[in-house]
Chain A
């Protein structure tokens, strides 16, 4: 049996197992993202003051030992306000991104795996959703139902479903056409099995990257809404509203207006760095 052919094949090179270490940018992204998630959870516990407590007789005071990030237009501690606000900004955006990416992924994989009329129906409904301008939609919904946290989460989630759906569907359609899916179907596997075992693991990488991107978009959308006064309502405040309420301090160069803007910037940049390091390719593909 051991012909030259078999012998030669045996020493064919085999790709070794290799795990690449994350680069500096990826580490920075992971660090920043973890930091803000920790702040969303523990921020209120370590904040030196209550979010609404007026602790300084001066307003827009600069950075000092007592107030590391200065104070705002009413003399409230900015550090505490940003820490309390993290929960709104990160929490609402995270919930909305989960809704957007989760529904997009489920709908996209279903459309790809079942195909036919189901695909057409889902895709056309999603197309309709895209036709509504997203900011207008947000403004109308907030005007109609008021600006509560659940309304914000749902609105932002629905606005970003179409993008997530399209990414997930196009990835899933690609995988669904591959031979291993045919083999599974010829084995008599059901569509749920195909979705769970064959499609999902091969698209999860790019889908996670897309999830990060959606999260960043939603942070910016919510900050924008808050800046317009339509987001989280006083006395609570997310970072967007913090920028807005301290806007009059801008010409003084008050840290009160710069710091929340800086927080938004670091969060979005951090998440972007993180998702850049998430491999866009399916797991297990040799590098």
Chain B
């Protein structure tokens, strides 16, 4: 006879309270089970109830929420009928939780070891010595550097990826039956994420721990989970083994999630490299105070083209947008707009130059003035750059909303009364209102759910075709860049390491960093992580810090010592048209990939 599942959830309903006091369900009638040693993924977009369900396994509901019905059994225990005291015994000891932001979950004023072993001490499971020995073993299993001594450090003295693994150690120290991982790698860069995922996978598999993995990212989940639960609006839409969900999804929502997870490359006419330059940047350096964030950046955007700027957090990609927009004057170099040199500061640019370059920021929540209606937000650039007023202005606002596929009746709403995707559309419409030649897009889809983000990318692609605007599209995500851009520039620590066409760079990135970056993006198939060879891990340098001549030197698998540390890498133009900054010859790089 088969063993009964470790966790059984039956008819779980969770309610939240609206500001007016009424209650509404945020999770409805959720039922699923998890076998011992199995990893179950809860996948869905924000607001789908995935974290709510995960927390209810701890017998916990967030403030304002209440578990109003159903049963949850973990092992022999009925979680929902436990007293507060018994719940304390359950939490941490039998069911452990790993949160998304380790930086927020650690107390900055205590050592890591004290915090990792705290649960064991609170529950009286092990003496301090024993707990520390166990912690060191876990550190080693999680592939953390210096497992013997890392516990003596404070949270700010380790990197984000290490901290996330330390939090897993904290959760596993008491040997829980069930571990809940709530988006544990979402805040990490891809090259860091992959090593963290690898470590999680190893400890969960080796220990036979039962796990719940909460995520919005199907590709990540495909590496971690045995079965997947697809959620939307608090309802379970589909449950199935990982292989079935990612290859033959049955529910239409799952199908749309899969479609959105991998936006199609933006097709259309090949970029005309001979088109006149719209933006030409050469030898650009800029920084804050004495810290140089960007060094010797050169790029060119032909009229009507889209350049993707890709890199990890801290590489200076957002600074590049700000510098070109004039918000942060550069220290040296030149920027030309349609052949005319731009002034480094806004004050030195005329109204027409300001109109032709527009900025769109990542988070529409902070990019739109919450106290002004949509009509007023869109009206200001129309009034300022095109002198519109009265009915003509109103007409143009409605036309702009129509352009971004929003009904004109939303013009009198405040941004707080719009959904995330609608806000981002208004954000785009405001840039379009100026009728610009170039739109600088800074991570425009990162804060959005996959499906909503895919719709925005589609819209941007269409706008480019219809209006002929050019984009500089900044992102950390290869897939979004691929959906919109013809050319890609890879930034590392404030320097451009490779520039090439989308196809060229995607099929064979040449620079060792570009190779690492692109190969770290999880693929939507099972077993991808297991097949991928481990890569040397290292601190991702922050742009502007002094270091070796090539910033990638410490992490580079192809470094030449001591040349790469001492001599700045030369620019090479490769046969396929890509330009890279590296000491290695083309043939040597080719053998790497």
Interface residues of A (CB under 8 A from B): 1, 3-6, 8-9, 12-18, 20, 178-180, 182-189, 197-198, 201-202, 282-287
In the complex the two chains form, is A183's CB within 8 Å of B359's CB?
A: yes
Q: Is chain B's binding surface mostly helix, strand, loop or mixed?
A: helix
Q: Which of B255, B351, B357, B370 contacts A282 (CB 8 A)?
A: B370
Contact A188 B351 (CB under 8 A): yes
Q: Which of B137-145, B236-244, B450-458 contacts A (4 or more CB under 8 A)?
A: B450-458
Asked if B366 and A180 make an inter-chain contact with CB atoms under 8 angstroms apart, the answer reads yes
* A residues near B367, Cβ cutoff 8 Å: 178-180, 183
Q: What's the nearest-Cβ distance from chain A to residue B193, in Å?
A: 25
| Interface presence of B133 (CB below 8 A) | no
Selected interface stretch from B196-204, B309-317, B410-418, B567-575: B410-418
| Max count, chain B CB within 10 A of own CB: residue among A1, A18, A182 | A182
- Is B126 an interface position by the 8 A CB rule? no
| Residues of chain A lying within 8 A (CB to CB) of residue B19 | 18, 20, 287
- Complex Cα distance A184/B384, Å? 11
Q: In chain B between 317 and 343, which residues have their CB closer than 8 angstroms to a CB of chain A?
A: 322, 325-327
Are B327 and A201 in contact, CB atoms less than 8 angstroms apart? no
- Measured CA separation A1–B455 after assembly (Å): 10
Contact between chains at A284 and B371 (CB < 8 Å) = yes
**Nearest residue, chain A, Cβ from B450:** A5
Asked, given contacts A12-B421, A20-B20, A180-B367, whether A5 binds B354 with beta carbons under 8 Å apart, the answer is: no
A198 to B455, CA, bound (A): 29
In the complex the two chains form, what is the Cα distance from A157 to B417 in whole Å?
39
Partner of A286, one of B253, B255, B417: B417
* Contact of A197 with B454 in the complex, beta carbons under 8 Å: no
Provide the residues of chain A in CB contact with B405, threshold 8 Å: 6
Q: How many residues of B contact A (CB 8 A)?
A: 52
From the candidates B259, B358, B421, name the one contacting A4 in the complex (CB within 8 A).
B259
B354, A186: Cβ atoms closer than 8 Å = yes
With A201-B371, A284-B416 as contacts: A186 and B359 at CB distance below 8 Å: yes
Question: Which of chain B's residues have a CB closer than 8 A to the CB of A282?
Answer: 370-371
The 10 A-B pairs at the shortest CB distance, nearest first, are namely A201-B371, A284-B414, A287-B19, A4-B256, A179-B361, A179-B367, A286-B416, A284-B370, A12-B419, A188-B354
- Residues from chain B with a CB closer than 8 A to the CB of A202 are 369-371
Inter-chain pairs besides A186-B354, A188-B346, A284-B416, 16 sampled, C-beta below 8 Å? A3-B455, A4-B256, A5-B259, A6-B405, A9-B451, A12-B422, A13-B47, A14-B418, A15-B416, A20-B19, A184-B380, A186-B327, A189-B384, A285-B416, A286-B416, A287-B19
Residue B464 interfacial (CB < 8 Å): no
A20-B19, A182-B327 in contact; A5/B370 too (CB < 8 A)?
A: no
Contact between A3 and B458, CB atoms less than 8 A apart: yes
Q: Report yes or no: A6 in contact with B370, Cβ–Cβ below 8 A.
A: no
Q: For B325, give its contact among A3, A180, A186, A198 (CB under 8 Å).
A: A186
Known: A6-B458, A13-B419. A197 touches B451 (CB 8 A): no
Instruction: Enumerate chain B residues within 8 angstroms of A5, measured Cβ to Cβ.
Output: 256, 259-260, 451-452, 454-455, 458
Instruction: Tell me if B252 is interfacial: C-beta within 8 Å of chain A.
Output: yes
A201 with B372: CB separation less than 8 A: yes
- By a beta-carbon cutoff of 8 Å, the part of chain B in contact with chain A is 19-20, 47, 252-253, 255-256, 259-260, 322, 325-327, 346, 349, 351, 354, 357-359, 361-363, 366-372, 380-381, 384, 405, 413-422, 430, 434, 451-452, 454-455, 458, 462
Which of B357, B366, B370, B380 has a CB less than 8 Å from the CB of A283? B370
* Given A3-B458, A202-B370, A15 contacting B421 (CB threshold 8 A): no
Quote the shortest CB–CB distance from A11 to chain B (angstroms).
10
Is the beta-carbon distance between A18 and B361 smaller than 8 angstroms?
no
A201–B370 CA distance with the chains assembled, in angstroms: 9
Knowing A5-B451, A284-B414 touch, does A180 contact B368 (C-beta < 8 A)? Answer: yes
**Complex alpha-carbon distance, A20 and B418, angstroms:** 18
B125 to A: closest C-beta gap in Å: 43
Contacts of A20 in B (CB 8 A): 19-20
A187 and B417 contacting across the interface, CB-CB below 8 Å: no
Residues in B whose Cβ lies below 8 Å from that of A285: 370, 416
Whether the Cβ atoms of A18 and B20 lie closer than 8 Å is yes
Listed A/B pairs (12) with beta-carbon separation below 8 Å: A3-B458, A12-B420, A14-B419, A18-B19, A180-B368, A183-B359, A184-B380, A186-B326, A188-B351, A201-B369, A201-B371, A282-B370
Q: A5-B451, A185-B327, A187-B354 are in contact. Are A17 and B417 (CB under 8 A)?
A: yes
Q: How far is the CB of B319 from chain A (nearest CB, A)?
A: 13
B414 partner residues in chain A, CB cutoff 8 A = 283-284
A186 to B368 CA separation, bound complex (whole angstroms): 14
For B354, the chain A residues whose CB sits under 8 A away are 186-188
The contact of B422 among A8, A14, A182, A183, by CB within 8 Å, is: A14
Question: Are B381 and A180 within 8 A (Cβ)?
Answer: no
Q: Is the CB of A197 within 8 A of B372?
A: yes
> How far is A180 from B361 in the complex, measured between Cα atoms in Å?
9
Complex: how many Å from CA A282 to CA B415? 12
Point out the residues of chain A lying under 8 angstroms from B462, CB to CB: 1
User: Using Cβ atoms and an 8 Å threshold, which residues of chain B touch A188?
Assistant: 346, 349, 351, 354, 384
- CA of A9 to CA of B259, assembled, Å: 14
- Does B256 contact A8, Cβ atoms closer than 8 Å? yes
Q: Give CA–CA (A15, B420) in the complex, Å.
A: 10
Residue of B whose beta carbon sits closest to that of A186: B325
A4 touches B255 (CB 8 A): yes
Closest A residue to B358 by beta carbon equals: A186
Contact check, B349 vs A187: say whether CB atoms are below 8 A apart: no
